[in-house]
Amino acid sequence: MTSVSDPDAEPAHVVVYTREGCHLCDDAIETIERVADSVSRSVEIETVDVDTDPDLRERYGERVPYVTVDGRPKFKYRVDADDLRATLTA
């Protein structure tokens, strides 16, 4: 998913580490999509199911959703829309 593009800004890369049946993960993705749609910067959202890789399952365990923005850890369990918006527009 990609939001409306600002030609002067590098696209933001948001990764959501998740697992099937995780309601907090669903909430986080909805918040990220809503914020991405509200900013002028292009946002690429990638979801990664930690249960598909033993190393990821070991690393994240029950700590999902775990969200990185441009490779930096940003949120665990819940995504704050205002904090995400500020990060994407900084």
Of 3-7, 35-39, 76-80, the range with the lowest mean pLDDT is 3-7
Residue 10's pLDDT is what?
Answer: 85
Q: What is the pLDDT of residue 43?
A: 96
Residue 66: Cβ-neighbour burial (10 angstroms; 0-12, 13-18, 19+) = buried
**Mean pLDDT, residues 73-81:** 97
- CA-to-CA distance for 7 and 61, rounded, in angstroms? 38
Q: Where are the domains of the chain?
A: 12-89
In CATH, the number for domain 12-89 is: 3.40.30.10
pLDDT digits (tens, 9 = 90+) for 25-35: 999 999 999 99
pLDDT in tens, 12-65: 999 999 999 999 999 999 999 999 999 999 999 999 999 999 999 999 988 999
Report the candidate in 61, 49, 53 with the shortest Cα–Cα distance to residue 25: 49
